[in-house]
Chain A
């Protein structure tokens, strides 16, 4: 493979992607900041609050913000569960039956938690009603919930009144959906349709094949879901093949647009953060860490796939198994690294078929905690939590009680952050350990050896970090995996959110301290390096032992 026909196009593609994201960064970041800080309301928005009984002028404390959020999510889970179970009796089911209890539980949790893990094939399990009223609605609101939590945490840092109030969940939810997600999705869906993504209510298109037989091509309202699938870092595909399906992602242009969409909000949020805390340099620092690690992940995955180590790729000449010929190695690697680093989980290639090193890298991208740049909202709040850890260590090293953005990091604050850091690793490690010991877990593993361990670990990493992509080798449609992974998704989403909001409340209750030359500067390259190392070390030290028996052993063999 020559330099000219692989590396240069790959670089050009990444360059174009970064250029597009850079163009959008400032205006879009500023727009989002305005969305969450403005007090102006349109007539429709005001009417909506009146109708739903929300007083938009009342800021909530963290506890009631959390109760509102959990209440809303609980209703979402129950609603989705009901839709799934009763599908057979509801219209627009395309004749598909209701899902079994474990399966319905799993996708109800999956879509509410912005994970969009799919144990099922979309086309053979979900009718139009479930797809549109269930999944697509959750694609919007679950993303808006993530945004709301991030914004609430940022307000905790930004506000100096000391009254502990962090905003109104209902207002944040409404604005996230109506002012950010809906308009961009609408535009993006149009562009995707122009690019060849289908949008139809006709479930089947009959065509005559070359041999004269009749083939039924499954279709549906794909473009509308595709846009929010990427923009909301959801990832749940209309089709089982997800973005490797030509109706979801027909060509290189739509492919690039999809990668752009899934990175758009997470990469612009640091700007929003910088504007809201009134120090844009802080936003640049966070973006620097996110961007640097994302670039490293893309580079590592691309290198692993281009090098194509392993006996099968060597024999075949390239690691093309599980990849679309339309996209090729580098494009697939770029998509894979971006989708796992953003908690999207959409795929345009099968990660299971990646080389040992490549598969390990995308797994590690999730294990970093979905912070580079992470899911919509979740990436920013996750990174800020890790920033608090870094500030705590570094703050001590400059001889002061650690403070971040003028808020002191004391015992209570660090306790919340420490618990936050514990949640996801616990879910991933305990879930994986159980599944490689218990019979129903072992039954799902299709390949023995290190790759089988990688598959199980990938599933739990994906669920607990709310990514949703899969190492397809694992049969997870069983009650065991549906229940356990559902639990991992649920706890992996809402326990961290509760801790983040609790921290936001504590921060908002503190008055802001003025900065001096003795204050740790959190916008300089030193801090960027420190935070980057913290992200790597926290994940690395936790998961290296387990990874060494899975992807590392695989990559070294």
Chain B
């Protein structure tokens, strides 16, 4: 007896997440321009200071080598040693340049943020109180004007339309619309009001309408914007655990090669082919993992930067890495998995009721209903029946109230008063009885059956009834209100599953409803009828099992769970408590962002691993270039190893050194962009990355060194 059925609404663009989503004030870079390089050059030169380089032992060693060959070249000049020297310095410079370029992008963002930080005047209440007299205006209060830099935590300031909010705080009185575009890049104003989860305001944003009193919660200099600036500039960048661990491995590799090259001289002396120090330094620099050593910090900075481009601020790099490790995603149902509001998808008429009659009644009762649910009922009937009737004159709207739990309309139909009601099953059935309808023997079970059907499917049933004149009312049918799963969500959860991440839906709904939606959205598990304590307990339980949990939240009651989660993403619109508890803030307040954050975290780690593998794989070719060149004089048979047929020993060494330097520059865009990441299982990721960066790293230098040798051999002195 199904009358109308529409497919779930597909509204393109509503919360449709996209990996390459760009934002108003940041775009995803696809490469680096010459201008960028030129701008970053002064910073790169400053970074040549050896004291700054000690953080990267690999590059520090290259610089020591460069100094050494410079001295040797001055003492005993030759075209060969000068070429090696120049390219060793280039290697160091390319490394610092990579870092400098990565930082420069953050600096641009920081300077635009700084503009929001101009000194403003604040109207401070002389007596900081949270309770203001009703009907206050800025003038009626006892205020004193002070520079915003002199505010202290606990001060209460008054901000009216057109003024800039002088500091971070919570609204203690009033409601206002606020333009937060300076921080989020989002031009639509947001509502801020006292109490509840929308009370937090950020210094530097502008009140557009109305007025608010704000209690300052952060001292000047450590506000949210200050933290943002520090983060995007990288001045507070601390190396993350995996980065430190990788650095340990790189340092030990460097030591191994230092040992191999240092002991090579005694062997060479024994063999009667003492090597020049310049050649040994060149060999060492080619062998140590300079590529990854040069790009390591740029990769880290760029990773944080990519988050900023997604309008996410990570309070620590540790959290970004943890995002890559996440095993469980805790997602709120509403707003993340389903569109915020329920939509009518189906009308189920009772036996003895005409389908059209139900449709008309349902539509009529909803015409005056401005809630999204009400509008969706009108839309449903319109799309199916083409009903364009408007509310007749004299119609009386009956608003929904918590007591009646129904809404509807009273109209005159052919002069007879007609009352249509829709609402929760129990409420409407009681109303029907009250109108004198005999407790039906056949109506009630039929209604209950329909209501159960809808509930089991994860929907919310609305019963529609009608009373004509003074006669008893009768039930016409049931409207199926459905939680509409966001388009594209199912596919993204499938991706998560492929990546080994379990998605858990959190909802206040009962188990049956929750399960139905979970099945439709494709999440792995549900936490139904969940209280904030349940969430916290769930996170703890997962963590005890060794799993890392990520979640998003905005309310103060989410704060404990946000703090407990390994990756806690607070919504930018959320309360100060939530932002304080989380280790990331999403300025767009889009909980689906969790999926992007996981992606970025993984991409960061993959980029490091891939470039390390590439760097080490490169060494094989370099051996084939340099070793025959070194020893061919004393052992002519070594020429057999010169499989690239490089033109001369000198050219071979210089070509390897040049390749080594140039490859750093060539990989800077990749380091900044991150290697391509597809959501797939670890096994296929491994196979593909090993092929691309392992085998690729093995082959590339053979080609590269050969090509450079063709050029170098044209130079005088080679």
Which of A171-179, A196-204, A429-437 is the interface stretch? A429-437
- Once bound together, how far apart are the Cα atoms of A551 and B264, in whole Å? 14
A-B contact pairs, 6 of them (CB 8 A): A398-B602, A399-B605, A401-B242, A437-B269, A511-B546, A548-B631
Q: Is B241 an interface residue (CB 8 A)?
A: yes
A542 B609 Cβ-Cβ under 8 A = no
- Once bound together, how far apart are the Cα atoms of A425 and B258, in whole Å? 11
Which of A43-51, A231-239, A261-269, A519-527 is the interface stretch? A519-527
A520 B682 Cβ-Cβ under 8 A = yes
- Among A395, A411, A518, which residue has its beta carbon within 8 angstroms of that of B681? A518
Closest B residue to A515 using CB positions? B500
- Once bound together, how far apart are the Cα atoms of A421 and B259, in whole Å? 13
- Once bound together, how far apart are the Cα atoms of A516 and B628, in whole Å? 47
- Supposing A392-B249, A516-B327 touch, asked if A453 and B267 sit within 8 A by C-beta, the answer is yes
Closest B residue to A449 using CB positions? B271
- Among B248, B263, B602, which residue has its beta carbon within 8 angstroms of that of A400? B602
Closest B residue to A452 using CB positions? B270
Q: How many Å from the CB of B567 to the closest CB on chain A? A: 13
Shortest 8 CB-CB contacts between residues of A and residues of B: A518-B500, A396-B609, A399-B602, A418-B252, A516-B500, A517-B500, A397-B609, A556-B637
Of the listed residues B256, B498, B616, B693, the one surrounded by the most CB atoms of chain A closer than 10 A to its CB is B256
B252 A422 Cβ-Cβ under 8 A = yes
- Once bound together, how far apart are the Cα atoms of A425 and B260, in whole Å? 8
Residues in B607-647 with C-beta less than 8 Å from chain A: 608-610, 612-613, 616-617, 619-620, 623, 627, 631, 635, 637-638, 640-641
A541 B249 Cβ-Cβ under 8 A = no
Q: Using A521-B682, A549-B271 as known contacts, list a sample of 17 further A-B pairs with CB atoms less than 8 Å apart, ordered by residue number in A.
A: A396-B605, A396-B606, A396-B612, A399-B602, A399-B685, A418-B248, A514-B546, A517-B500, A518-B500, A533-B694, A537-B616, A541-B260, A541-B619, A549-B264, A549-B631, A556-B637, A556-B641
Q: Is B589 an interface residue (CB 8 A)?
A: no
List residues of chain A with CB within 8 A of the CB of B270. 436-437, 452-453, 549
Residues in B215-249 with C-beta less than 8 Å from chain A: 241-242, 244-246, 248-249
- Among A414, A430, A546, A557, which residue has its beta carbon within 8 angstroms of that of B248? A414
Q: Is A553 an interface residue (CB 8 A)?
A: yes
Of the listed residues B252, B638, B693, the one surrounded by the most CB atoms of chain A closer than 10 A to its CB is B252
- Among A397, A519, A556, which residue has its beta carbon within 8 angstroms of that of B500? A519
- Among B324, B608, B686, which residue has its beta carbon within 8 angstroms of that of A520? B686
Main secondary structure of the interface of B (DSSP, over half): helix
Q: Is B136 an interface residue (CB 8 A)?
A: no
Q: How many Å from the CB of B182 to the closest CB on chain A? A: 34
A546 B264 Cβ-Cβ under 8 A = yes
A398 B686 Cβ-Cβ under 8 A = yes
Closest B residue to A513 using CB positions? B546
A397 B610 Cβ-Cβ under 8 A = yes
List residues of chain B with CB within 8 A of the CB of A544. 623, 627
Q: Is B669 an interface residue (CB 8 A)?
A: no
- Supposing A399-B324, A511-B546, A513-B547 touch, asked if A433 and B499 sit within 8 A by C-beta, the answer is no
Of the listed residues B267, B613, B627, B686, the one surrounded by the most CB atoms of chain A closer than 10 A to its CB is B267
Contact with B along A388-412 (1 / 0, CB 8 A): 0100111111111100001001110
A541 B546 Cβ-Cβ under 8 A = no
Chain A residues within CB distance 8 Å of chain B: 389, 392-401, 406, 409-411, 413-415, 418-419, 421-422, 425-426, 429-430, 432-434, 436-437, 449-450, 452-453, 511-514, 516-521, 524, 526-527, 529-530, 533, 537, 540-546, 548-550, 552-553, 556-557
Q: How many Å from the CB of A530 to the closest CB on chain B? A: 6
Q: Is B287 an interface residue (CB 8 A)?
A: yes
Of the listed residues A409, A434, A537, A550, the one surrounded by the most CB atoms of chain B closer than 10 A to its CB is A537
- Supposing A400-B325, A543-B260 touch, asked if A389 and B683 sit within 8 A by C-beta, the answer is no
List residues of chain B with CB within 8 A of the CB of A419. 252
Contact with A along B263-294 (1 / 0, CB 8 A): 11011111100000000000100010000000
Q: How many Å from the CB of B363 to the closest CB on chain A? A: 48
List residues of chain A with CB within 8 A of the CB of B259. 422, 425-426, 429-430, 542
- Supposing A399-B606, A514-B547 touch, asked if A521 and B683 sit within 8 A by C-beta, the answer is yes
Of the listed residues B271, B321, B619, B689, the one surrounded by the most CB atoms of chain A closer than 10 A to its CB is B271
Closest A residue to B639 using CB positions? A556
Q: How many Å from the CB of B25 to the closest CB on chain A? A: 28
B324 A400 Cβ-Cβ under 8 A = yes
- Supposing A397-B606, A549-B631 touch, asked if A432 and B267 sit within 8 A by C-beta, the answer is yes
Closest B residue to A438 using CB positions? B266
Q: Is B398 an interface residue (CB 8 A)?
A: no
B263 A450 Cβ-Cβ under 8 A = no
- Once bound together, how far apart are the Cα atoms of A423 and B617, in whole Å? 22
Q: Is B501 an interface residue (CB 8 A)?
A: yes
Q: How many Å from the CB of B291 to the closest CB on chain A? A: 14
List residues of chain A with CB within 8 A of the CB of B400. none
- Once bound together, how far apart are the Cα atoms of A543 and B257, in whole Å? 9
Closest A residue to B688 using CB positions? A397
- Once bound together, how far apart are the Cα atoms of A557 and B617, in whole Å? 28
List residues of chain A with CB within 8 A of the CB of B327. 514, 516, 518
List residues of chain A with CB within 8 A of the CB of B256. 421-422, 425, 541-542
- Once bound together, how far apart are the Cα atoms of A192 and B318, in whole Å? 61
List residues of chain A with CB within 8 A of the CB of B260. 425, 429, 541-543, 545-546
- Once bound together, how far apart are the Cα atoms of A524 and B502, in whole Å? 23
List residues of chain B with CB within 8 A of the CB of A392. 245-246, 249
